[in-house]
Every structure is written in C-alpha cells, then in structure tokens.
Amino acid sequence: MAETGSGAAATDGRRALVIGAGIVGTCSALYLQREGFRVTLVDRDGPGEGCSSGNAANIGLGTYPPAGILAKVPGMLMDPRHPLFIRWPDLPGLVPWFARYALASAPRRRTAVAQAIDDLHRDVIAAYDTLFAETGTEALVVKRGMVFTYESRRSFEADTANRENYRRRGLVLTELDRDEVHQMEPDLGPAVECGVHLDGTEHTVDPLRLTRAFAESFQRRGGTILRETVRDLETGADGPPRVVTDAATHAPDLIVLAAGAWSGRLAARLGSRVPLAAERGYHVMLPDPGVSLSRPIRLSDRYVVVTPMEHGLRLTGIAEFSGLDKPSNDARADLVLRQAQAVIPGIRTEGMTRWMGHRPSTPDSIPVIGRSPRHPSVLFAFGHSHSGLSQAAVTGRLIGELAAGRPTSIDLAPFRPERF
Ligand SMILES: Cc1cc2nc3c(=O)[nH]c(=O)nc-3n(C[C@H](O)[C@H](O)[C@H](O)COP(=O)(O)OP(=O)(O)OC[C@H]3O[C@@H](n4cnc5c(N)ncnc54)[C@H](O)[C@@H]3O)c2cc1C
C-alpha cells in the first residue's frame, strides 16, 4: 500500500489547517494532502469521536427534504412514537430554521435542492473508493446495498416519490413482496408486509474505526493531528485569519472549517450567518442482538435504521432539536429500541449501550461547501445533516479542488454559504 500522496498537483508546501477531525474534516485533510498541502488537523477530541462515530454507517443514500413537511409537523410533534422532538421553550428560536426547511420542501425549490444533492452524490462512492484504496481500509466496507421495509401497502405507496429520487440517482431498486423480503432477511418479524432492495449503497462495519484509520493514514503521510480546542478565528486588516486555540495561535495559509454542528459559531466569527441546527440523533448498540441481518434495513414506518456492524447491531433514529449543550435523553434511545423490537421481535438487549450525537443540519439539507465570502483563504465544509458519512469523501475531494484553485468537479453554487 502506497503511503505517499498520489494526487495530480505538485507539492507546493502550503500549510492548511482543518478544524474538526470528524469524517468530513478527516477526508478533507486526506484530499488536501493529495493536493500537496502540509496539513494539520485540529480537534478537541480524538478523530471521529463526534457525530461521525455513532451514525447508521450507510454510505450512498443521502436524504431529500420531504414534500409538504410543514403541514405534517404538528401531527409529528403530537405523536409520541414519532421521532421528531422539539422542546417547547426552544420553539421560537427554531421558527426561522423551520421556515427555511418548509421553503426548501416546497415543490419548486425541492427540485433544485434534489438536483444539488444528486450532483453531489454522483461521485460519493468513487471519492471513497480512492480513499479506501490509498488507506488500505477496503475491509471496513460492505457493498451489499440496503433494504427498506414497509408494514403496509399504504406506507409503501406513500414512499413512492422518495424511491423515485433514488432511482433517478442511479441506484437500482428491486421491489420485494412479503415472501421475498422475509427470505432475504429471515429475522424480520411478521409486521413487515413488503420491501425494496437498494443496490448501490454500502456501509462501514464501524464508522469510528473508519475515521480513525483515515486519520492514522493521514499521519503516516506526514500529517499532524493536534488535540486542541479552537476558541476563535482572528481576522486582521490583511492576511488570512489566524486560528486561536486553547494551546496556541496558528497562522496557516488555508483554513478548512469542518467542525460539524459547532461550525456555525466559528463561521459567524468570519461574518457568515449560516442557519445550522444541532439535530440530535440517537443510537442503541446491541453487542449480542440474538438476530442476524445481512445488510442495513430502514424500517420505513418506524423512522429507524438497523445496521449490522462488527461489534453488534446498531439501531438509529430520532430528530431532536434541542441545541448543542443539553444532556442526552435516554428515553429517546429507548424509543428507537422499542420501534425496532416491534419489527424485529427477536432482538436481545443484554449489554446494550446508548449514544447521542449532533447532526449539523442545514434547513435545505444541502451542505455548505465553498469559500468564505469575506475570507477567501477559509473554506467551509460543514452542514451535512443526515448524510455526512456518505458525502464526506466527495466533500473532501471538492475541498481539495477548491484549495488547489482548480475548477470543481460539480457546480458549487447551490452549496455556497451566502445562499442563506
Ligand atoms: C443517529 C444518526 C445516524 C446517522 N446515519 C447516517 C448514515 O447512515 N449515513 C450518513 O451518511 N450520515 C449519517 N448521519 C449523519 C452523519 O453522521 C453526520 O452528518 C456526520 O457525522 C457529520 O460529520 P462532521 O465531520 O461534519 O461532524 P462531526 O463528526 O461532529 O465532527 C466535527 C468535529 O469537530 C470537532 N470540533 C467542533 N468544534 C471544535 C472546536 N471549537 N475546536 C476543535 N474541534 C472542534 C468535534 O470535536 C468533532 O470531532 C447520521 C447521524 C446520526 C446522528
């Protein structure tokens, strides 16, 4: 396995500093190295320990803003089984975000949003394949697609537009009747009426291990990882901004802001007001689940994804809007578990652990990828909402292209920070 950068650009020794060693920052760091930058990756924690550690591990799906969402929100909030949670005192502060969300899901805007997401997803797998091959991490990825289950023909029909989106993007969808879906996944319970197999997505057996493996490869190629907390971005009259941490002040040639849900505060220091919500999601990890699934399953009626991983079965779900600082709420994780048990009755819970993480969610589901409007030596790479694991490698590739000053492989206009 070659450990030297194999990118097209010549090494020019310029120094880049990436804030945030989640999957997005780590992939960006690897692609910057390929472009010949001397890269430092800064995180207050270890690589991958933020939202990137606990996700459902699927690569390639990518979500679209749901149609007609606004009318459904009150019903969702009143239904105790629904995964959307907002604390009433937080509601006034969230109104502008939800207003933009509703706008993005309106028919005309929705088409443009879906187009941007499709463009980004065209090379999601190819951009990862480059990194898997260069870092020797192919064994951490399983290419078996995923299954959506439905508990009635009605819920199957209700999801038609969503499936069409995935078809349009090039995923191959095979409808499965009751017998077929149970043959494919025998541990699904009788509640499952039918399903769909999606070919073209993949999953990692452990997203934390994957990010760590990328980070180790980055270091072996000469990259530096610093465990520091970024406190501020100092902007002077001229020159690039400086990164002030709890340990030092850094003055790189280029900064990439990839701090996940925490990026909004730092972007604001550069004059960019990006409406970024910390959308909390939960998982339950079952080390000895007593059931066996061959691939990730989206339990469509339950808003839960179940993923077989190297250390057990992971059940994920919930969209809870309660900010960055409040403690985790175990009842949410337990709801995910109950929902999964209703569809996969044999699940055992011995040794289970719970986790909560903050999705960096933009109101139009499109990540922010582009240059800071006021500080061109700062690149933004955050806001990947529900699809950051999927979109991380292709984002890293785009960051590399921007940093090298090359034309980007897709039109980044829909991703620019100043769209809000
Ligand atoms: C339950 C759940 C299921 C999901 N399932 C999927 C899925 O199946 N597929 C998919 O594609 N996506 C999924 N996602 C979304 C995905 O996990 C996120 O979009 C992605 O992890 C975001 O990555 P990130 O690198 O931007 O953020 P993070 O992983 O949160 O990384 C940000 C990093 O920045 C660091 N940081 C922040 N502020 C500072 C600071 N001031 N100084 C230093 N460091 C700082 C943090 O410590 C952190 O390590 C899921 C999310 C959840 C919650």
Asked, for residue 49, whether it belongs to a domain, the answer is yes
Domain membership flag for residue 10? no
Distance CA 127, CA 218 (A): 16
Cα 189 to Cα 182: distance, rounded to the nearest angstrom = 8
Q: Is 260 in the pocket of ligand 1 (CB under 6 A)?
A: yes
Whether 252 contacts 243, CB under 8 Å: yes
Give me the CATH number covering residue 291: 3.50.50.60
- Report the number of distinct structural domains present in the chain: 1
394: phi > 0 → left, psi -120 to 50 → alpha, else beta; which? Answer: alpha
pLDDT confidence of residue 8: 40
Residue of minimum CA distance from atom 48 in ligand 1: 50
Q: Could you tell me the residue range of the domain that residue 342 belongs to? A: 15-70+112-419
Q: Is the CB of 24 under 6 A from ligand 1?
A: yes
For ligand 1, atom 39, name the residue with the nearest CA.
259
Q: At what angle do helices 91-104 and 107-121 cross, to 10 degrees?
A: 80
Distance CA 137, CA 59 (A): 14
Q: Is 298 in the pocket of ligand 1 (CB under 6 A)?
A: no
Along the 420 residues of the chain, how does pLDDT read in single tens digits?
233 333 344 446 899 999 999 999 999 999 999 999 999 999 999 999 999 999 999 999 988 877 766 777 777 777 777 888 888 888 888 989 988 988 888 888 888 999 999 999 999 999 999 999 999 999 999 999 999 999 999 999 999 989 999 999 899 999 999 999 999 999 999 999 999 999 999 999 999 999 999 999 999 999 999 999 999 999 977 778 999 999 999 999 999 999 999 999 999 999 999 999 999 999 999 999 999 999 999 999 999 999 999 999 999 999 999 889 999 999 999 999 999 999 999 999 999 999 999 999 999 999 999 999 999 999 999 999 999 999 999 999 999 999 999 999 999 999 999 999
Asked if residue 399 belongs to a domain, the reply is: yes
- Tell me, what DSSP letter sits at residue 273? -
Cβ-based neighbours of 280, under 8 Å, separated by 6 or more: 318, 319, 320, 321, 322, 328, 332, 356, 357, 358, 359
Q: Is the residue at 300 inside a domain?
A: yes
Indicate if ligand 1 lies below 6 Å from the C-beta of 367. Answer: no
Please give the Cα distance from 43 to 223 (Å, whole number).
14
Query: What is the position in ligand 1's atom list of the atom closest to the CA of 203?
Result: 8
- 404 within domain boundaries: yes
Q: Is 259 a pocket residue for ligand 1 (Cβ < 6 Å)?
A: yes
pLDDT at position 4, please?
Answer: 30
**Beta bridge partners of residue 17, listed in sequence order:** 40, 255
Looking from the CA of residue 25, the nearest atom of ligand 1 is: 25
Residue 8, domain member (yes or no): no
Question: Is 41 inside a domain boundary?
Answer: yes
With the most atoms of ligand 1 within 8 angstroms of its CB, the residue from 218, 380, 386 to mutate is 386
From ligand 1's centre to the CA of 104, what distance in Å? Answer: 22
Domain membership of residue 66 (yes or no) is yes
What gap in Å lies between CA 158 and CA 166, rounded to an integer?
15
